[in-house]
Structure 1
Amino acid sequence: MKSYLCKYIPPRSDFLQTMSIEEKQWMTQHGEYMNGLLKRGFIVAHGPVMDDAGGYGVSLYQIPDEQDIVALTADDPIVKNGAGHYEHYVMPHLTARS
């Protein structure tokens, strides 16, 4: 198994406050996508982070060795629609509550 901290970087610092109707639809699809990965066991936890410099999203992944983290985050509807991108950070060890 491989573990990652993934940070969703929105397209602008005030994205959460200024989303268009279309972006809100993509964000709803993003939430459904992330919850689907959670149910499949690929995500340990995910959610928004409020920051004075601008909000962003964080997700912790624990995925099989053959799974590609870049492919998983590239399939996120918010990214597929061009509204932001992910940064990926390898975690050599992840311990989580059960």
Structure 2
Amino acid sequence: MPSSFFFARLVPNRPDFPMSMTAEEQATMGAHSAFLQSQLSAGSLVVAGPVMDPKGVFGLAVFEAESMAALSALLEKDPARAIGRYEIFPMASAFARPAAK
């Protein structure tokens, strides 16, 4: 089955999350980073990182997956689900440059 690209936005449970993380939440974010690194290595993650929106920081990720259902199932395994929720949107079409060397 052909794969598609999806935009995933991780919205924290509170707007001041980056500035008010507890030690436990910092550990969760470390596990979240490890999860993303594993998806990058597996080839499903294209790019990810925090977006410093003045209205509220959020996490951005672009994934390549067979379906939205497949991506949703994958993101259920992300430890960051404990600190926020994902909004997932299919991309109608996408252009991607080859990986930088």
Would the TM-score normalized by the shorter structure come out above 0.5? yes
In the alignment, what sits opposite 2:74?
72
Matched residue SS, 1:75: coil
Check the 8 A contact 2:32/2:79 in 1, yes or no: yes
TM-score by length of 1: 0.91
Shift of 1:76: 0.4
Residue number among 17, 20, 27 corresponding to 1:18 in the alignment:
20
Shift of 1:64: 2.9
Matched residue SS, 1:12: coil
**% same residue:** 30
- Return structure 1 stretches of 4+ with deviation > 2 angstroms: 64-67
Alignment gaps of 5+ in structure 2: none
Tell me, in whole angstroms, the C-alpha distance in 1 between the residues paired with 2:22 and 2:76.
21
Residue number among 37, 46, 49 corresponding to 2:48 in the alignment:
46
Is 1:5 aligned to 2:7, yes or no?
yes
TM-score by length of 2: 0.89
Alignment RMSD, CA only?
1.4
Tell me, in whole angstroms, the C-alpha distance in 1 between the residues paired with 2:45 and 2:18.
22
Alignment gaps of 5+ in structure 1: none
